[in-house]
Structure 1
């Protein structure tokens, strides 16, 4: 486990009378300690012993796995939109011998069958930035998936509590407060007497629209790496150096909501583009924006994988690869990703790497020496550096 470049630490959790060991990767939610909201929700679970539980947004398993340990005869489904978090929750389920826990990727309720058996409990630590439309859908669609005696319990940051109470009044939800901590509140809704399936609204995750390179992209709530500095300073650095001559095949890693893949389709109409991301929300918006802007089709291959190396087929090589290194993922992850990119290139191919200048100074000298990578700086501007990486073929 510790040899995995994503490994950050191991946390020991005591909850519900059980002790668990949780291995934690870099670059996911709450890597330093178990989140306070999760701990508060674990102290305020429903009293009814569940036959089935859904952990919505499971992360690396800090909520769902203690429940699985406490109720070994129960069916525990755990879902997350981040495939890296899913992979580590699966590892932690195996590590703790929790065979009743089933972990898989899902963007909200999207990938759960409407014909699936109902749940006695639905639990969620609600992301602070996910947006009001999703919070409403979380409750409405969740109520439709509860058993007759079921209950949905969610923990939110204190600032969201008034909004949730307001939404309950607007929609007639029988919302009750079940617990309160210094920074979080636990709410509950019991299953209604009658309910029907709730379809996912088309604009459930839509935040706004941004214009980049003359095209208008739909942008979702709560997608990492989309701060104003990156949009106004980092992304233009990369766009300025994209090749004028069209490559045949392009690999784009950390494809966000589609800016670089779709700009690539616009500039290189005949190129085969592979867009890779581990976040199901990001990949959903890559596909959405491609359809909206007229660039969907066989020449844009959207791949959802936890790790870059898993997205590249054994006999697959690219003329061009484009990647942005994640500061929060750490140096070992950057080393593994750069090595995978260099191996994925054709003999004469190149990878364009966008990175913060401070990360370039701290990490890349050591990485290039250890892995014998050939990497040169093309330019630096506004705190970002653009680097060229050549093939290991």
Structure 2
């Protein structure tokens, strides 16, 4: 049996070379610009996703908040907290090593010093002595309810009295988040529901 030699089309190969290059863009967040570098394979690489931007519009940032961005991607939630809460320290974690690498680069490029960016599956590799007054997450829909509960339970254990947990989800998860927040925190507040996303908040009482 003989096999024909196949070579992918030249135009596809040329596109692939461009796709391997970093993606760079500038976008305003809460009225001020950030510069981002991303890559294909990370969530929403060409522009900030609408869910994260919607969430940030409704977070009650306090100047001295110590925050954690749970599943940070390339960093927009934690970066915004670091800028809006200059007296606090801000932890950005993700289980994807590429996301963490680009989040570090983006924090450095935007001269954010009050940050700690590192690899962690949920809270598994967050220092045990760290606690937080603000938790934020753009929760992915596909990780399963078990992982969502682990995020909530682990966050609850690390939150100070009065700390706030803001989450944005697709609307299909809003009832689950209300139920899960109520089970874990004893309260849940639907902050905003749009056409696609819902923002839910719980407070550690």
User: One fold, TM greater than 0.5?
Assistant: yes
Equivalent residue in structure 2 for 1:69, among 83, 86, 97:
83
Aligned mates of 2:21, 2:75 — CA distance in 1? 15
- 1:289 corresponds in structure 2 to none
Per-residue CA deviations over 1:231-272 (Å, capped at 9, x if unaligned) read: xxxxxxxxxxxxxxxxxxxxxxxxxxxxxxxxxxxxxxxxxx
Q: 1:169: Cα distance to partner?
A: 5.0
CA distance in 2, matches of 1:129, 1:88: 22
- Name structure 1 gaps, 5 residues minimum: 193-393
**Alignment-derived partner of residue 90 in structure 1:** 104
SS of the residue aligned with 1:129?
A: coil
Shift of 1:170: 4.9
What residue is the counterpart of 1:10 in the other structure? 24
Does residue 33 (structure 1) correspond to residue 47 (structure 2)? The answer is: yes
- Within 5 Å, give how 1:87-126 maps onto structure 2: 87-116=101-130, 118-126=131-139
For 1:25 and 1:61, how far apart are their aligned partners in 2? Answer: 13
Give the number of aligned pairs.
189
Give the equivalent residue in structure 2 for 1:132.
145
Q: Give 1:138 deviation, angstroms.
A: 1.5
> Does residue 186 of the first structure (1) align with residue 199 of the second (2)?
yes
Summarize the Cα distance change of 1:39–1:174 in structure 2 as closer, same or farther, 3 Å threshold.
Answer: same
- After superposition, the Cα gap between the structure-2 partners of 1:158 and 1:190, relative to the gap in structure 1 and judged at 3 Å, is same
Supply the distance in 2 between the matched residues of 1:23 and 1:39 (Cα, whole angstroms). Answer: 17
User: Could you list the per-position Cα deviations for residues 115-142 of structure 1 after superposition, in whole angstroms to 9, with x for gaps in the alignment?
Assistant: 22x1110100001101001111212221
Asked if the contact 2:135–2:165 (Cα under 8 Å) also holds between the matched residues in 1, the reply is yes
**Secondary structure of 1:138's partner?**
helix
Aligned-residue offset at 1:149:
2.4
Q: Report the Cα offset of residue 77 of structure 1.
A: 0.6
**Could you tell me how far 1:47 is from its partner in structure 2?**
4.9
Alignment of 1:195-206 (within 5 A): none
Q: Secondary structure at the match of 2:76?
A: coil
Higher relative contact order (CA 8 A, sep 6+): 2
SS at 2:190's partner residue? strand
User: Using a 3 Å threshold, how does the CA distance of structure 1 residues 169 and 100 change in structure 2: closer, same or farther?
Assistant: closer
Task: Report Cα offsets for 1:64-102 as digits up to 9, x if no partner.
Answer: 112212222220110000011101111111111111121
Q: Which residue of 1 aligns with 2:70?
A: 56
RMSD: 2.0
Matches within 5 A, 1:190-229: 190-192=203-205
Runs of 4+ in 1 over 6 A off after TM superposition: none
- Unpaired stretches in structure 2, ≥5 consecutive residues: 1-16
> In 2, Cα distance between the equivalents of 1:178 and 1:114?
30
Q: Distance in 1 between matches of 2:95 and 2:191?
A: 27
- In our comparison, the structure showing a higher alpha carbon Rg is 1
* Mapped partners of 2:182, 2:160: distance in 1: 23
TM-score (norm 1): 0.45
Alpha-carbon spacing, 1:115–1:169, altered in 2? closer, same or farther (3 Å):
closer
Q: TM-score, normalised on structure 2?
A: 0.84
